[in-house]
Amino acid sequence: MPAEATAATVVAADAVDAPPPSTADVTATEDATPAVDPAPEPAPAPVPTLTPEEFGERQQRNNEFLIACGKYHKSSSSGDLKRAQTLFNRGVDVDFLDGDGWSALFYAAGEGHLRLVQWLVEDWGATVDLRAPDNCTPLWTACFNGKRDVVSYLLRVGADDTIVGTPPGEPAQSPALAARRNRNPGIADFVDFEAELRRGDPSRRPRQVARQMTKEEFRESMRSSPQFAAMDGGAA
């Protein structure tokens, strides 16, 4: 036999007789594959900073916004929605608090400016249960001032009727009690009836907060209230 053939035969035989690689060898080979680092998270967008002059201008607009929503304008029946919209488009903070700890929603609710209240809540997400330093809320303020349409609307969008306010010189009181103490018994009874419905149906207020209760559903559920006819102005 030629030498080349003999050598080839020996090599082929060795290849046939060689044992297959062990699982450990395969695993070791796979483990040796270099890991690929995950892509880095995108950097957050930089928060714009205001110059002192820009900050001062924005604070001025914020204060003008409160006035448009009812601060100092007790004689106005509806507030100045057009002016408020103009200021908002120029840049204001919807939950801006003045020195008394009141936001635009407090003033609009306290003065009974229903369209402004709806605009602030529905279009711009004003905080419904924002609390002043005395723990009063926009609902509490509307109840105390006897603003029935605003009270009805705020309850429909889930305003908390259990938050107890502690106004200076007054005992602690819920929105319903605030209405009763200020000679608005019909509003107090209406709030108490809503509280009773919420106790009977734990899903009621979460649905209201999530804006899942229509005006028609709210009105229908309140029809058995003794104060429904007096409270139902149709607008809220």
Q: What is the dihedral of CA 65, 70, 76, 79, to 10 degrees?
A: 50
Domain hosting 108: range is 52-127
99/60 same-domain check: yes
179/229 same-domain check: yes
SS3 153: helix
Question: How much is the average pLDDT of 11-32?
Answer: 51
- The string of pLDDT tens digits covering residues 57-114 is 898 999 898 998 988 865 455 568 888 889 888 889 999 999 999 999 999 999 999 9
Quote the pLDDT of residue 13: 46
Query: Do the domain assignments include residue 225?
Result: yes
pTM of the model: 0.74
Q: Which of 87, 72, 153, 89 is nearest to 115 (CA)?
A: 153
Residue that terminates a domain, selected from 65, 96, 127: 127
Can you give the CATH number for the domain in which 58 is found?
Answer: 1.25.40.20
83/159 same-domain check: no
- The string of pLDDT tens digits covering residues 85-97 is 898 888 899 999 9
Average pLDDT, the chain: 83
Quote the pLDDT of residue 231: 67
